[in-house]
Amino acid sequence: MRLNLWPKLLIVCGIILVFVLYSARENLRQDWDDLLESVRIVMDNFIYSMNPERAKGVTTLENEENLKAYVGEPFRSFRSSDWQKFWNVIYGVYPIDYSQNRRLPPRARQLGYAEMEARLKELYSAPFGYFKEEHWQQFWPLVLGKKARKR
């Protein structure tokens, strides 16, 4: 008698499972789409971090010397850690672009010119707090060399 009860119980559980899956199909479809989009974003972020728009050269010593000579402070008193923080603002890849869907990770990218300028003003109020448009136009070729674009 016990053996005959199992198939009936499995059929009832199967029917309940089908009903639950059918009623939750939209949520499951959205979960699947979000999972695929998250994987795409993570892969894009990884690829972008390996090949960003602006890439640091082999050495930045020449740029650092130019900044010390032409801009002065705070660059004259920079230590190695200060230079590292400065170059990270210029060449770093940040998770910036957040989706309206809070379940998706942010897209990573480098800061644009306006964002870099704001960050530099925040970190080093003197001299960047006093920079005007013409100062920035002279500053970017010192930092980025030939890779500097028109803003």
CA–CA distances in Å: residue 14 to residues 8, 10, 19, 23, 89: 10, 6, 9, 14, 57
Domain tally for the chain? 1
Q: Is 97 helix (H, G, I), strand (E, B) or coil?
A: strand
Please, are residues 127 and 96 in contact by the beta-carbon 8 Å criterion? no
- The whole-model pTM stands at 0.65
Radius of gyration over alpha carbons of the chain, in Å? 27
Residue with tokens 């971090």: 49
Tens digit of each residue's pLDDT (9 = 90 or more) over 4-47: 777 777 777 888 887 777 776 777 788 888 888 888 888 888 88
User: What range defines the domain where residue 108 resides?
Assistant: 2-147
Q: Among 120, 129, 68, 67, which residue's Cα sits nearest to residue 90?
A: 120
3-state secondary structure 100-129: CCCCCCCEEEECCHHHHHHHHHHHCHHHHC
Tens digit of each residue's pLDDT (9 = 90 or more) over 52-103: 777 777 677 777 777 777 777 777 777 788 788 888 888 877 787 777 878 7
